[in-house]
Chains A and B, each alone.
Chain A
Amino acid sequence: MKKKRNKLEIVYDIMRAIMDQKNRVRPTQILYKSNLSHKMLVEYINELVGKGLIEEVEEDKKRYYCLTKKGFRFIEDYEKVKAFMECYGIE
């Protein structure tokens, strides 16, 4: 059975989903990639926008999300920290 994701892992999955879609993604695509309920996703998105990790842009009356510089830095730091923790046996 797959381990339940913690909050940080969910945040990373959302941000990674945005980054993997060339840093411009519709909310429905994030919903599909992050495997969350709509209500939960809205909560997470609002928090990430509030923290300046992602930003909302509007084009042709459509809403998109993209990572900010801070967001890119977070992903880079998180991946390094994750690799570090794995090699030192931290689950």
Chain B
Amino acid sequence: MISIIEISPTWFYNYNIILEMFFAVISGLISWFGAKAYRITKKNEAKILSRAFLFISLSYLLEGVFSWLSIREILNKSSQIPWSYLLLRTTAIYSHKLFMLLGLIALFIFTIKEKRKEVFIILTAISILTISFQNSCWMSFFLLNTIFLLFISQYYLKNYMRRKNLASLLTSCAFILMTLANITLAISIENPILYVPSQCLNLGAYTALLTNLYIILKARK
């Protein structure tokens, strides 16, 4: 059972939780700034962006918290793996998958400038059904994420080509790194050693987003 739900190496559990919290904080900050942008400009795109990053933040936050609780469970029991561990770990994984998909679908909808809520609902339903009825739900989850991220990345690459500034370059790089991380994560199901490099790619992506936010907040004209 554990080998089915775990794809990260055992020695990496604690580092993984720290990374997830880091990703949750950065996504949360972007969501907060997006909400501020919406409050000032009343632009619907800012609201969608804010919600997308809120979902991504929640996905990492819930996975981090439930993973930490599950590790505590396993440390307290010496012999058998307790059912509470499996329950917490499963909750961590499925809440992460659900909110990550919601976040990426919202971002995808934002990049294609789609305004109808029905599109979001249909895409969410199709995505959830796809990962629910697959033998390897991790693989379908990472592949779906990769497809959404490919579209999002090309949008930000075009945005960089148009603006040619450091901030848009960092955003574009961040999404390209996230796409590469997801491809590596998909491969890591068969080769667990690749899990760590994929999280390093994600770390690079979120560091780029944080640097970007820092540049914007420090900017004085």
Contact = CB atoms under 8 A, between A and B. Distances in A.
Contacts, number: 58
B27 interface: no
A36 interface: no
A89 interface: yes
Interface stretch (B32-40, B77-85, B119-127, B138-146): B32-40
Interface stretch (A23-31, A42-50, A55-63, A77-85): A77-85
B10 interface: no
B217 A89 contact: no
Given A80-B216, A80-B217, A89 B156 contact: yes
Interface stretch (B13-21, B41-49, B90-98, B199-207): B41-49
Given A78-B40, A90-B45, A84 B216 contact: yes
Contacts of B167: 83, 86-87
Most chain B CB atoms below 10 A, which of A80, A84, A91: A84
Nearest to A87: B167
Contacts of A78: 40
B155 A85 contact: no
B219 interface: yes
A8 interface: yes
Contact of B219 (A8, A79, A90): A79
Contact of A89 (B34, B36, B155): B155
Contacts of B45: 85, 90-91
A89 B159 contact: yes
A88 B40 contact: no
18 contacts: A77-B40, A80-B217, A81-B33, A81-B41, A83-B219, A85-B41, A85-B46, A86-B165, A86-B167, A87-B168, A87-B170, A87-B171, A88-B34, A88-B171, A89-B111, A89-B159, A90-B37, A90-B49
Interface of B: 33-34, 36-37, 40-41, 43, 45-46, 49, 111, 155-156, 159, 163, 165, 167-168, 170-171, 212-213, 216-217, 219-221
Given A78-B40, A84-B34, 11 more contacts: A76-B220, A79-B221, A80-B217, A81-B33, A81-B37, A81-B40, A83-B167, A87-B163, A87-B168, A89-B111, A90-B37
